[in-house]
Structure 1
Amino acid sequence: MRQWGLLNWLMFAIFFMSTLSAIYSLAQIYVTEVKADKALLQFSEELSSPEYLDEQKPVIKATRFSQTHYEERPKVGEVFAKIEIPSIKLEAAIIEGTGVEQLDKGVGHYEGSVLPGETDNTVLAGHRDTVFKSLKNVEIGDIVRITTAKGTFVYEIQEQLVVDKHDRTIIVPTESATITIITCYPFDFIGPAPERFILQGVLIDET
């Protein structure tokens, strides 16, 4: 009888810890989504401010080797752009940097990569269980729209692949204005994921 009681307590403890872990995970996702919404609102307000509206943004015809010039790069932690993927109804803020704090607010921009619209490879990253939870549904040919103070840049997804988490061959220079979007994979993996889900596209339009 005593042995049965100990077994019950052990099972209860395991169940209790699993429940606490699930609640904690849900709470973390909720907090992250709140931070992401706040960051997106912050960027939207900045974009509609008099300082931005007073700037003259000429329409630039997109080319394979398009080049957009930024007077200065955003600081780490700064919300400087908005990403939209209409096919999965995604709209999120882009923050400079890919640390924990930045990815908690939305999509992170690798500091070593060029800014949206510039020639070369613009690299973005985000969590698979929050901002990029629907990224697996993006298909070849889908559109990615990025808005910054310099204008709106439209990319077309041309490649989808999965690589090992240590693979750095996709974060390389390119001759054209390219975007690389990265998240952990598999999407339903529990714990640190062993692979990375990659989307790559090229700039097809800008205004």
Structure 2
Amino acid sequence: MPRFFPVALTLIGTLLFGDGAYIHAKAWLAQVLLERAFDRSITTGAAVKPWSWADTWPVARIEVKRIGASVIVLEGTSGQALAFGPGHVHQTVDAGERGIAVYAAHRDTHFRFLRNVAMGDVIDVTRSDGKRFQYRADSSAVVRFDESGIDAATQNAELVLATCWPFDALASGPERYILHATLIETGE
């Protein structure tokens, strides 16, 4: 019996390591495929799925250069989409348009960088049609999930990045972190 334990522990450890390595390899490959699909979308002017069975496609890239953050945004906020990147919330405008473009992502993955965004930081958004927009972070708030305070009737071009709060929580809760930014420049 004592010989069985080291062999069993080694086997279990190998399986757990392999599972963890598989998840990281899958995430890395997904990001490579998302980048390629986004670049092809800009080149062709058409939505390009990152893999044939995807139920979403890249619609934008968000960058905060001061902190080295860059993420590809996907269409929609289904569980599938949010597993691979931030999602563009349906029924909100595209970046650069009059109204509020809302993007949401998980706090522990794709929007982890929001904790490091300072008021006044420039947020660059490149849409899949190649149009570029710069926003300046001007406020943030912690709100209940059902009381965002987002003014959908605004006549300005605004951006909201939303994620769960608090950043270090292990379980989901009712609060959301909302980062608001206002359009400062277009580079169409």
TM-score for both structures, normalised by structure 2: 0.76
Residue 178 of structure 1 aligns to a residue in which SS?
A: strand
* Structure 1 residue 100 corresponds to structure 2 residue 79: yes
Shift of 1:167: 1.6
Q: What is aligned with 1:189?
A: 169
SS at match of 2:70: strand
Distance 2:107 2:24 in 1: 11
Q: What are the ranges of 5 or more consecutive residues in structure 2 without an aligned counterpart?
A: 1-11, 48-54
Taking CA–CA contacts closer than 8 Å with sequence separation of 6 or more, which of the two structures ends up with the larger relative contact order? 1
Larger Rg: 1
Do the aligned partners of residues 179 and 199 (structure 1) sit closer, same or farther apart at CA in structure 2, a change above 3 Å counting? same
How many angstroms apart in 1 are the aligned matches of 2:179 and 2:20?
Answer: 26
* 1:125 and 2:125 matched: no
How far does the alpha carbon of each residue in 1:129-150 deviate from its partner, in whole angstroms, 9 at most, with x for none? 1111121110100011111215
Matches within 5 A, 1:15-54: 31-32=26-27, 34-47=29-42, 49=43, 51-52=44-45
Deviation (angstroms), 1:29: 6.8
- Counterpart residue identity of residue 113, structure 1: T
The answer (yes or no) to whether the contact 1:121–1:177 under 8 Å persists in 2 is yes
Relative distance call for 1:90 and 1:118 in structure 2 (3 A) is same
Which one of the candidate residues 132, 138, 147 is aligned to 1:152?
132
> Contact conserved, 1:178 with 1:200, CA < 8 A, in 2?
yes
Is the contact between residue 141 and residue 157 of structure 1 (CA under 8 Å) also seen in structure 2? Answer: yes
Using the alignment, how far apart are the partners of 2:87 and 2:123 within structure 1?
A: 15
Kept in 2: contact 1:40–1:82 (CA 8 A): no
Counterparts of 1:25 and 1:173 in 2: how far apart (Å)? 45
**Alpha-carbon distance between aligned partners in 1 of 2:66 and 2:60, rounded to the nearest angstrom:** 19
Inter-partner Cα distance in structure 2 for 1:129 and 1:26: 18
CA distance 1:81–1:194, shift in 2 (3 Å): same
| Cα displacement string for residues 167-187 of structure 1 (whole angstroms, at most 9, x for unaligned residues) | 232263311000010011111
Residues in 2 aligned to 1:28 and 1:156: alpha-carbon distance in whole angstroms: 35
Contact 1:158 1:200 in 2 (8 A): yes
Root-mean-square deviation (Å):
2.8
**Which residue of 1 is the match for residue 6 of structure 2?**
none
Aligned pairs, number:
165
Unaligned runs of 5+ in 1: 1-15, 53-71
After superposition, residues 156-195 of structure 1 pair within 5 angstroms as 156-170=136-150, 172-195=152-175
Paired position in structure 1 for 2:118: 139
Q: TM-score, structure 1 length as denominator?
A: 0.70
Q: Structure 1 residues 189, 154: closer, same or farther in 2, change over 3 A?
A: same
**Deviation above 6 Å: which 4+ runs of structure 1?**
23-27
Q: Report deviation, 1:45.
A: 3.2
Could you say if the C-alpha distance between residues 29 and 119 of structure 1 is closer, same or farther in structure 2, counting changes exceeding 3 Å?
Answer: farther
**C-alpha distance in structure 2 between counterparts of 1:120 and 1:42, whole Å:** 27
- Structure 1 pair 176/25, CA: closer, same or farther in 2 (3 Å)? farther
